[in-house]
Amino acid sequence: EFMISLHQQIHQIQEERPVEVAANSLSDDLDVLCFDEFQITDIQDAAILPRLFEILFLRGVTVVMTSNTSPQLLYSGGLNRHVHLPAFVRLVGEHCTVLGLGAKSVDYRRKAEAEELQSSDVLDSFLVGEEGDQELESRWQEWLKQ
């Protein structure tokens, strides 16, 4: 959502250097910018982010990000990654403290999902039609009794 909004704002700006104008406008309105599950998925974002973050950091905006990917591996395999991402990774390294949480081999979300699927309370089929409706109602009533 953030990047979609930023792209829309950049396209509306009629001045030179629209990324800089948008970044400064954003910096005027906030002190802290937080991203959850930060990722870079396309070339447009990869091209914009280095300049955006450079201005955010110059303007003193505090940036907090979570990601399942270290900064060095963001946009891996992406088109022209070697052109755009080194500057972004350098900026993050200079202005942010990167913390690894040590769960390199365990994805706890997938582990919890697997445990949930093994639970007898989880539906193991699709409920379709009148029989499905009856089964769903039966399971709902059973759950309400708990």
Q: pLDDT for 46-61, tens place per residue?
A: 999 999 999 999 999 9
Whole-angstrom Cα distance, residue 49 to residue 22? Answer: 12
Question: What region does 139 belong to: left with phi over 0, alpha with psi -120 to 50, or beta?
Answer: alpha
Distance between CA 14 and CA 145 in Å, rounded?
62
Q: What percent of the chain has pLDDT over 90?
A: 60
Cβ contacts of residue 47 below 8 Å, gap of 6+?
84
Q: Is the pTM of this model over 0.95?
A: no
| Lowest-confidence region among 40-44, 82-86, 98-102, 105-109 | 105-109
Strand ranges (E), 43-112: 62-65
- In the chain, the amino acid numbered 75 is Y
